Structure 1
Amino acid sequence: MDTQSDPASESTPSTEKQWVLARHLFEELKAIGLEDVTMDENGYIMATLPSNLNKDVPVIGFISHYDTSPDFTATGVKPRIVKNYKGEDIVLNNEKNIVLSPDYFEDLLLYKGQDLIVTDGTTLLGADDKAGVAEIVTAMEYLIAHPEIKHGKVRIGFTPDEEIGRGAHRFDVDIFGAEWAYTMDGSQIGELEFENFNAASAKITARGKSVHPGYAKNKMVNAIGIITDLASRLPREEVPEKTSGREGFFHVHHLKGTIENASMELIIRDHDREKFEERKQFLNLLVQEFNQRHPQAVDLELKDQYYNMREKVEPVYHIVEIAKEAMEQVGIEPIIKPIRGGTDGSQLSYKGLPCPNIFAGGHNFHGKYEYVPIQSMEKAVEVIVKICELTAEKS
């Protein structure tokens, strides 16, 4: 199902096609035996697995988003399974010579002997984050079928529009009613994340004056020139393709214009809050400098998007430790690292629902080389089940 979100839309969900999966999922949750299954007017789905204990246990939750990225087409997804992967090149599309190769994507070699779900090379796959959706539903179905596994009340939630930064905007934390939750939205098996970027978006607009180029001296103001000159002043080493770990960046993702009007859209990211504020101030000062040369020609629209959830999770770090122990008990080595991106969990943490992020298993999100090992998804299900079990044991 094509469930791409659309940043240009003001509705929630931002696309009608997200409703197709939402309605299907709503009915499936009722069919497997969950209780209190609801879907509100904005496409937020919630459901309950009741406690099977006679003691008080913290209510916990698991959350995934069902939209997919607008960065690459999701129309006509044709997934296939490569069984018992041996480490070779995978020809996704022979006609278009599109190949998924470990020579370029080295992580493939981690999954020799496993079964990979891949694309046909013309669309993204949608494992971000339908893998997470599938894992949560499967885990709930397993717990319903195995009442001997003791657990407290579990709430699950599915959100639209995470890929355009709005996944948690209309998520009602009070109605959800969990003490803490986990988003199943990470990548490689073992990932466990409780810190992410501080994030802002910026749009810089320049206004120029168009004059016949033969007679333009001291008269023409070329908005394209202003914008490209401004872009050239951004730190050249502080871009996504040259940074890793906790290093922040400026990322120009749209540039367009004419002599009269030109604009540049970019995102600002940094794990360190102080450095994040310095990056925003750098842009403000840069725009002021250009306006001194061309009075009132440049505008800056700067918006904070989300903040590092570490500040909200560290005071309740035991929720990370439970997830870590769950992974270890099912034979997974936890990979605790910062997210070089965002997650619903960040916004939810600031809304009062501490929410670390756990792997869903996929790789190469937002493009035609996306894939997910089936065994990673199966392990994610085991982790969810074990978290429920450990939370009950430790209460």
Structure 2
Amino acid sequence: MTKAEPQVIELAAPVLGEAEKRALAEVIDDRWLTMGDRVRRFEQAFAELHGVDEAVAVSSGTAALQLCLAAFDVGPGAEVLVPSMSFVATASVVVHAGATPVFVDVEGPDRPHMSIEDARRRITGRTRAIMIMHYGGYEMDVAAWRALAGEHGLLLFEDAAHAAGLAGPGATSDAAAFSFFTNKNMTTAEGGMVVIGDPERRQRARLLRSHGMTANTLDRTRGRAVGYDVVACGHNFRMDELRGALGLVQVERLPGWNRTRRELADRYRAELGREVPEVVVPFAPGHRTAAHIMPVLLPDGCDRPRVMAEMRAAGVQTSVHFPAIHQFEYYRRAHGAVSLPNTERFSARQLTLPLHPALEPGDVERVVSALREAIRAAR
């Protein structure tokens, strides 16, 4: 008799069930699929949860970042300070806007947030904006960054792709962008949200979301608009009703899911401290977080590919968040060699462990046990 393979512990898993099925079926029955009333209700529910006046739903988190830049006319000739310790979209949207991303180092291995001291050194006369990123869902000191931006007359944007459900993003910055990709704390499969405090800039984001048209498809179809003009060169960044329906269901459950994530993260900290004390867990206990991912740092010199292979054999999925953007071939070719020593050390040692609301406490113990054995094997 062959030994049964262990059940795989997934890195991330969306929570989907009957409520989502019913919501999608209702959209099909109503026969209106493009952006409409459900998307608008989702925007309102998301804004209410985050304590802001309004939110603008879009087709992806990347589209949300692009709209932040476009709504404030950030374009050719401008420089935007960005983290290299992020998903590549944080930088690629700057390139697509015609601006130049300027990469900023992180503070250190225990706090992989953009360094405000390094950012200050990289500000030039061409700098137009700063894009901070709440790595792993751990809240940045937005007030300190707002002060830095104010000193130099710069815009402040937040990449809040990891921070859905965390009160704060978008409250004091010029704009914040959220993601609802499948592995995020809540999902619409693809989708995103933009929060902009200034009503005129927010309205510009709504305009640019849909080709710069002065009337949307729903208004035209239902006879509320007899014509339209195009007053800006916009995009097709609309969210459809199927995703809006998913979002309405998911956003109600987001606070509970985030509580579960934080409890699991705390359990990880305790288990790792007891079983694998040589592994570093970034951020101090109690740091405000949406607990999007569970990042750890392997011991210096540890063979990460071997660790990941051993854990895969034990039925535990892992990942890396993230390869440093400035070390990707395109960015080295387009923007030259950049030295970010803290980012490079963090990226070389980082490993992401499974974290999602479907995990049980026993799963955390199994993951930590697998990590302990994998590190021994890798040595």
Q: TM class by shorter-chain length?
A: under 0.3
| Larger helix proportion of the pair | 2
Calculate the TM-score normalised by the size of structure 2. Answer: 0.25
TM-score, normalised relative to structure 1: 0.24
